[in-house]
Amino acid sequence: MAAKQNEVFISYSRRDKEFVRTLDEALQVRGLDAWIDWEDIPPNADWMQEIKEGIEAADSMIFVISPDSLNSKVCCEEVEHALQHNKRLIPILHREIERPGRGSSPANNPLDRAYSALGFDTTAERLYGYIGPQNWIYFRAADDFEKAVETLFQTIFTDLEYVKSHTRLTMRATEWDRAQRMAEFVLRGEDLLNAETWLENSKNKMPEPTQLQQQFIMASRYEHEKELQTGEAQRLREDALRREAELRERQTKTTRRFLAVSLSLFVVALGMAMFASLQFIEASDERDNASTQAFLAEQNASTAIIAQGQAISEARNASTQAALARQNEATAFAAQNAARSEARNASTQAALAQQNASTATVAQGKPSSRPKLPSRTKPPQTARPKKR
């Protein structure tokens, strides 16, 4: 987990701890938050890693100069890590040091031999090379502490916005670098624009941008351009997809309209077909009915013809019967007349017989002359009707 951003990081030797406490209190009175290893390292944490992250999160590093700090490998690592990230280095002299003269040999110079025994030939020389070119602020016992604190305060706040931006970029770039420079950790949007502006304005300013910061900003710009291209490509793809979707929608609407029209036409055609079918069925029924009626008419006509023939035959028979009836009537009339004639003849015969009987009786009793019988006359014959 990255440390929070602080104004200063204080690098010191343990032998200068009391002085550092006094300095920290003076800074806190002025509202400065200092990172110090005795209060900012959590228990069970990676101690050196926490120190490095504290340096990265600080705007400036205060290095408390003393013979012990110059000989401290830890202090040397802290200063080197700060310079690696181009931190503003503010050396403050708390206890006097003496640097061995260059070009002398430890074997020939007792002072050089003493420094060599303390390790100044390695660590101290390296540290002195780092802090030597800087402007020192003097916090020796004989110096005015308050005045020195004021000078330190002014130094810390010199071009503070630039320095704070430097710190923020250091923290972001370090995080990006430790994450295998993944694109998810680059700057974007307003942060990228601010970083590029800061980089352009960093000429002739201290601390200078680090190589890591510059690589980080360049990588952020590259990712931004790639995202723009990707975004443009994505936008073009989305436009193409949108146009394709609109085209599909139009085609779908057209298809739906076509289907609706086709369905309507189909329904109409189906209705017409059903109507035509019904009409055909009705026509067929009517045709069948007409055929039936025609057949019936023909049958009736035939029946009528037969009936007519029968009627004619019956009429003829009736005529024949009438003729026969008339003939029979005439025959009956003739027979009647004949019967009447025979009846009259019979009556005449009976009268004659009676008369003859009377005559015989009389003759038997008294002869007398026979009475003269009337002469028989034939009854008039009735003319027979002619047979038709």
Give pLDDT tens digits along the chain (388 positions).
445 567 899 999 999 999 999 999 999 999 988 999 876 555 556 788 889 999 999 999 999 999 999 999 999 999 999 999 999 999 999 999 876 444 433 444 444 444 555 545 578 888 898 998 889 999 999 999 999 999 999 999 988 899 889 989 988 999 999 999 999 999 999 999 999 999 999 888 888 899 999 999 999 999 999 888 887 777 777 877 888 788 778 777 777 776 777 677 777 767 776 776 777 677 677 777 767 776 776 777 677 677 677 767 776 776 777 777 677 777 777 777 777 777 777 777 777 777 777 777 776 665 555 555 555 555 555 555 555 4
Q: Is residue 181 assigned to a domain?
A: no
The CATH number of residue 131's host domain is 3.40.50.10140
Q: Is residue 373 assigned to a domain?
A: no
Q: Is residue 80 assigned to a domain?
A: yes
Q: Is residue 245 assigned to a domain?
A: no
Q: Is residue 342 assigned to a domain?
A: no
What type of residue sits at position 375?
S
Residues 120-130 as b/e (b if ≥16 CB within 10 A, e otherwise) read beebbbebbeb
User: How far apart, in whole angstroms, are the C-alpha atoms of residue 279 and residue 337?
Assistant: 79
Q: Is residue 111 assigned to a domain?
A: yes
Q: Which H/E stretch holds residue 111?
A: helix 110-118
The pTM score is: 0.54
Contact 23, 10 (CB under 8 A): yes
What type of residue sits at position 57?
A
The CA-to-CA distance between both ends of the chain, in Å, stands at: 154
The candidate with the shortest Cα–Cα distance to 149, out of 68, 83, 90, is 90
Contact 359, 366 (CB under 8 A): no
Q: Could you say which DSSP state residue 372 is in?
A: P
149-156 contacts: CB < 8 A, separation 24 or more? 149/23, 149/26, 149/27, 149/30, 152/27, 152/62, 152/90, 152/92, 153/27, 153/30, 153/32, 155/60, 155/90, 156/7, 156/8, 156/32, 156/59, 156/60, 156/90
Q: Is residue 84 assigned to a domain?
A: yes
Domains of the chain: total:
1
Which domain range does residue 62 map to? Answer: 1-158
Q: Is residue 103 assigned to a domain?
A: yes
